[in-house]
């Protein structure tokens, strides 16, 4: 079974009806079996963006509690790999959240990244492998 890795963009768009991508993300979410796998840096970013926008960042924590989202990544364990990725993509620049998803995709070959971030078209796992995406472009 293919694991879907969730980036902050779709999470924000799903919970913010005013977001330009809300409709597209809502349709995609309906077709994706839960749970969506993600990382703490992604959830931190999503909560921050939702708090700034809708003020309702608690929806992310409720999604975790209900099993819609799951965290399957340890930043401390993966710190060296994250540093290498961030250094490799310094020209983009790569955020910790993005690096954590790229690394998670390396750890789970059967995964695809659900994102609205065009930078994922540039990122590669294991240096050269295209990362399978669910993206609107």
Range of the domain at 100: 3-129
Q: Domain for residue 135, yes or no?
A: no
Residue 70: give its domain's CATH number.
Answer: 3.40.50.1010
pLDDT by 10s per residue, the chain, length 137: 789 999 999 999 999 999 999 999 999 999 999 999 999 999 999 999 999 987 788 999 999 999 999 999 999 999 999 999 999 999 999 999 999 999 999 999 999 999 999 999 999 999 999 999 999 99
Beta carbons within 10 angstroms of residue 120's beta carbon: 21
The pTM for the full model equals 0.96
Bridge partners (DSSP) listed for residue 68: none
Q: Where are the alpha helices (DSSP H) in the chain?
A: 8-15, 22-31, 40-53, 58-65, 79-88, 96-107
Structural domains of the chain, count: 1
Q: Is 111:132 a contact under the CB 8 Å cutoff?
A: yes
Strands 111-114 and 133-134 come out as parallel
Cα 133-62-46 angle, rounded to 5 deg: 45
């Amino acid at each position: 079974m293919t694991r879907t890795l969730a980036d902050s963009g779709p999470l924000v768009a799903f919970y913010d009806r005013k977001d330009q991508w809300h409709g597209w993300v809502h349709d995609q979410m309906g077709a994706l079996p839960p749970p969506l796998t993600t990382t703490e840096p992604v959830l931190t970013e999503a909560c921050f963006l939702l708090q700034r926008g809708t003020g309702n960042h608690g929806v992310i924590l409720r999604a975790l509690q209900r099993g819609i989202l799951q965290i399957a990544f340890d930043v401390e364990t993966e710190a060296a790999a994250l540093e290498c990725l961030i250094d490799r993509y310094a020209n983009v620049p790569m955020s910790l959240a993005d690096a954590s998803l790229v690394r998670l995709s390396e750890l789970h070959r059967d995964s695809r990244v659900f994102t609205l971030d065009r930078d994922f078209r540039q990122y590669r796992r294991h240096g050269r492998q295209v990362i399978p995406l669910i993206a609107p472009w």
